[in-house]
Structure 1
């Protein structure tokens, strides 16, 4: 019972943290370019994780490093830039909704590539949840007709990367402690992020003198500390204690949190979006409800 309660607690906490990340990205973009934001997110998070878990790096086996490289690039590095780029054209709440494709991709990739079985109930639950996200997307497009939905490609590609990452963690890095796993990821991607940052004109008067620069740095620091560093550790633990599908279900709850932030930021929230949110909750429940044992 304790294990069941623990995984649901992790799911809720992660939903609150990551659901708030999209509004933080939106606010940070007021004074930073998407490439500066993505690079800073990795660099700041790396510094935080190194301070907490650098001593654990020597416990990583040589054979694990190849998977840590893939996990770090697909699960943290590229999405940090892609989400920032997407939010230059698409509303933050809509981006969070598109991110709900992760569980569906986790099941498809898990079955096709990683040979991880999924039950009919899980598949049905993911389809129901995906139906809810579709309603949210369509209604969001209706309320915001001027948004460029071609930029949704960046989010969709990120969901494929996230889905691949959760399956890699479950199959190849299950034995690595969550803090060690997160730290190892950022050991791999830290230097590339610094190089990108150097080429973004970040260290210039134009950047430092921007009226929104200081607040953008506050937003990106909060995002890095909670939305990346802490969340990565919690997510790695959730994947290890549950399944890739259950862990990916966090992306069903995130849009609800993100939409609430959107309302506070002046965005419109309709009754149809509220109904879609309930459908999403139903999908999470069905995809993770244990089947009754036959007697």
Structure 2
């Protein structure tokens, strides 16, 4: 193995690990929703992630400059806080597998926002991929959670909004904070939004009472804590590192693989997918492929 090949192997290795972690996050959200509300699940996820990384965040405050704070706040909100609540809310009315499929829109929104606000260019072939991906999303939303194509399931739009936030987050990390490490970006951004989640969880919900009085609450809590530590804290460190050594589009391509893991977990948990769901999955993956197939990603270690 030559030295030149190491970055490629590192990038693809990180991509596969992230797919396994994030592909499993939807079933963990589902287990959390067995007991807790969507707001509680979102807050527990952020609180556990921020507490886990608290020592790292505090120790890296000295590396943060004044110019970084607004971008770190944006990363905390768009990359962690808001999506955590949006995915939980969506999964109160759509299967975990469907949420995982819609999540595959992330690379498409990464390209759109990159073209609008950063340096990304969209070609005619990319545009075809974008349109195909959006058709796939439409198929999923129209299919709803019951397979009825005439029923418009608005809850799928919560996941769409989360992928828009992810797309913004990717571009911010790549183009606005190249001088900060992945650990600094992840830990400090969660340090910023952690107190908001803690306040919401303990002041505006019945979380404490639920944990003490409801059977099965500890199991659901454990599922969401694992989600927070693995799926938010550790995975974001790996993901932010992947963004920094490759490109936003390459990194967001982890969503090629996430739906496969999410669907497998959903089927194992007894979820049923209908023809509209499979059509949506195929169109979204095809759209992301078409939008990326002629892009050569330059991979390097900073």
User: TM-score over 0.5 for the alignment?
Assistant: yes
**Deviation by residue 1:1-53 (Cα, 9 ceiling, x = unmatched):** 33223222222211111110000000111111111111111111001112344
Give me the TM-score of the superposition, normalised by structure 2.
Answer: 0.85
Given the superposition, is the C-alpha separation of residues 124 and 155 from structure 1 closer, same or farther in structure 2, using an over 3 Å criterion? Answer: same
Are the equivalent residues in 1 in contact too, given 2:72–2:188 (CA < 8 A)?
yes
Within the alignment, does 1:104 sit opposite 2:103 as a pair?
Answer: no
Match of 1:259 in 2: 263
Comparing 128-137 with 100-109, greater Cα deviation is found at 128-137
Match of 2:299 in 1: none
Match of 2:166 in 1: 162
1:1-295 matched pairs, under 5 angstroms = 1-118=5-122, 122-125=126-129, 141=145, 143=147, 149-199=153-203, 200-204=205-209, 206-269=210-273, 287-289=291-293
| Structure 1: stretches of 5+ with no match in the other structure | none
Comparing 169-178 with 138-147, greater Cα deviation is found at 138-147
Given the superposition, is the C-alpha separation of residues 255 and 283 from structure 1 closer, same or farther in structure 2, using an over 3 Å criterion? Answer: same
Measured in 2, the distance between the counterparts of 1:88 and 1:164 equals 25
Are the equivalent residues in 1 in contact too, given 2:104–2:284 (CA < 8 A)?
no
Measured in 2, the distance between the counterparts of 1:7 and 1:287 equals 20
How many angstroms does 1:215 deviate by? Answer: 0.6
Measured in 2, the distance between the counterparts of 1:290 and 1:7 equals 19
Are the equivalent residues in 2 in contact too, given 1:102–1:251 (CA < 8 A)?
yes
Are the equivalent residues in 1 in contact too, given 2:113–2:167 (CA < 8 A)?
yes
Given the superposition, is the C-alpha separation of residues 252 and 135 from structure 1 closer, same or farther in structure 2, using an over 3 Å criterion? Answer: farther
Are the equivalent residues in 1 in contact too, given 2:142–2:150 (CA < 8 A)?
no
Given the superposition, is the C-alpha separation of residues 146 and 47 from structure 1 closer, same or farther in structure 2, using an over 3 Å criterion? Answer: farther
Measured in 1, the distance between the counterparts of 2:155 and 2:290 equals 31
**The residue matched to 2:53 in structure 1 has which SS?**
helix
Are the equivalent residues in 1 in contact too, given 2:141–2:153 (CA < 8 A)?
no
Measured in 1, the distance between the counterparts of 2:174 and 2:149 equals 40
Give me the TM-score of the superposition, normalised by structure 1.
Answer: 0.87
Equivalent residues, number: 291
Moved over 6 A (4+): 144-148, 270-276
How many angstroms does 1:77 deviate by? Answer: 0.8
**Deviation by residue 1:208-235 (Cα, 9 ceiling, x = unmatched):** 2211201111101110111101111011
CA RMSD of aligned residues (A): 2.7
Measured in 1, the distance between the counterparts of 2:269 and 2:148 equals 15
Given the superposition, is the C-alpha separation of residues 291 and 18 from structure 1 closer, same or farther in structure 2, using an over 3 Å criterion? Answer: closer
| Structure 2: stretches of 5+ with no match in the other structure | 297-302
Are the equivalent residues in 1 in contact too, given 2:107–2:288 (CA < 8 A)?
no
How many angstroms does 1:151 deviate by? Answer: 1.3
Match of 2:300 in 1: none
Measured in 2, the distance between the counterparts of 1:219 and 1:165 equals 25
Comparing 5-14 with 219-228, greater Cα deviation is found at 5-14
